[in-house]
Amino acid sequence: MQEITVTRTTHPKSKPDQSALGFGKYYTDHMLLMDYTAGIGWHEPRIVPFADLELHPAAVVLHYGTEIFEGLKAYRRPDGRVQLFRPMENVRRMNNSARRMALPTMDEELGLECLRKFVEVEQDWVPSAPGTSLYLRPFMIATGADLALHGIREARYVLIASPVASYFPDGLKPVKIMVEDEDVRAVRGGTGEAKCGGNYAASTRAGDRAEAKGYSQVLWLDGVERKYVEEVGSMNIMFKIAGRVVTPKLTGSILPGITRKSAIELLTSQGVPVDERLISVDELRQACEDGTLEEAWGIGTAAIISPVGALAFGDREYTIHGGEIGPFSQKLYDDLSGIQWGRKPDPFGWTFPVDQPAGAPDCQK
């Protein structure tokens, strides 16, 4: 495997107050860069002082949006060690996104070692206050200067990190979500299941409209029939309807969330089946009407478990579980976050200590 070189900053920043981290406001001292050139492949992985990126004004990403990203977190365990949660899942999903966007894929072991080594260098930045973590944002951009549309010949992988608290300012306090019936996020065969910037850019208008009406985010419907529920702005979605846990199945236009997958595996192991199926907006509205929608929660890396306290269909708003977090979502949060932060045993082999030597076996799940 290629050696990742390290050039340490001579001007380390002071660490932010852990009680006021927010999400994505502060960045660590370093970043990891690696370049791709057609015919050569990925080369020069290097950890360098955090700085602005320099791009040619004709760089493909600036014109055609050829960009993909990932999100994962490094957690401070009670014993002080630092661990990642299923990082190989992120490496593999990034390769899947790269295939969809015609960007270069990366050797899985190299991708994993970039994450591990970077966190090892930045480990003092992993906060320890309850609910805080170091959010890692690997991304890849097409850097070649070329206004003609054809294959990607040059790309750059960048990894940055931000110490964070809850994604939503009120933590586990339930959020209000609005069903979006005008814009669509993705269609099958499009880029919906890739984690690419364009999906999120196309979502901004609806998100802004929702915020103006007092909602945190929108619940997307499928892009063809506008009939089936897909995901929320920054996370997947799950419901407990008449005693059963249901979540939209991965149809090709939904992000295959790693936290979603982990929750399904965790619940199944506890004897709680999760139905992955099409859920129509009519079924959801009916469940709100007749009171069988017991709980709803968003689920994702940044948001972890985010209870939904109200769901709006047009002008009609329904309160879920009295607008409070329900016992099921609370237990799922406790169990999942317990494993992520090392407070609970990890029977699945999902956690990955950063002081593990390169090449040590990661969970392959």
> Applying CB under 6 A, which residues contact ligand COI?
71, 234, 300-302
Minimum CB–partner distance for residue 5 and ligand COI (Å): 27
If the CB atoms of residues 144 and 220 are measured against ligand COI, the closer one turns out to be 220
If the CB atoms of residues 114 and 302 are measured against ligand COI, the closer one turns out to be 302
Helix (H, G, I), strand (E, B) or coil at 333: helix
Minimum CB–partner distance for residue 285 and ligand COI (Å): 26
59 Cβ contact partners less than 8 Å away, ≥ 6 residues apart: 141, 142, 143, 144, 145
Contact in structure between 135 and 286 (CB atoms under 8 Å) = no
β-strands 217-221, 175-179 pairing: parallel
225 Cβ contact partners less than 8 Å away, ≥ 6 residues apart: none
| Cα 187–Cα 145–Cα 158 angle in degrees, nearest 5 | 65
For residue 61, what are its two tokens?
Answer: 């990403």
β-strands 30-37, 154-164 pairing: antiparallel
The DSSP secondary structure of 259-328, one letter per residue, reads HHHHHHHHHHHTT--EEEE--BHHHHHHHHHTT-EEEEEEEETTTEEEEEEEEEETTEEEESGGGS--HH
Identify any residues that bridge with 31 across adjacent strands, giving them in sequence order: 48
If the CB atoms of residues 24 and 223 are measured against ligand COI, the closer one turns out to be 24
Nearest Cα to Cα of residue 231 among 257, 205, 197: 257
State how far the Cα of 193 lies from the Cα of 337, in Å rounded to an integer. 25
Minimum CB–partner distance for residue 136 and ligand COI (Å): 9
Minimum CB–partner distance for residue 73 and ligand COI (Å): 8
By beta carbon distance, the residue nearest ligand COI is 71
Minimum CB–partner distance for residue 67 and ligand COI (Å): 13
Phi, psi of 155 (to 5 degrees): -145, 165
Minimum CB–partner distance for residue 135 and ligand COI (Å): 7
Minimum CB–partner distance for residue 115 and ligand COI (Å): 14
State how far the Cα of 278 lies from the Cα of 163, in Å rounded to an integer. 36
If the CB atoms of residues 145 and 201 are measured against ligand COI, the closer one turns out to be 201
If the CB atoms of residues 168 and 328 are measured against ligand COI, the closer one turns out to be 168
If the CB atoms of residues 132 and 301 are measured against ligand COI, the closer one turns out to be 301
If the CB atoms of residues 138 and 326 are measured against ligand COI, the closer one turns out to be 138
If the CB atoms of residues 253 and 301 are measured against ligand COI, the closer one turns out to be 301
Minimum CB–partner distance for residue 302 and ligand COI (Å): 3
State how far the Cα of 58 lies from the Cα of 158, in Å rounded to an integer. 19
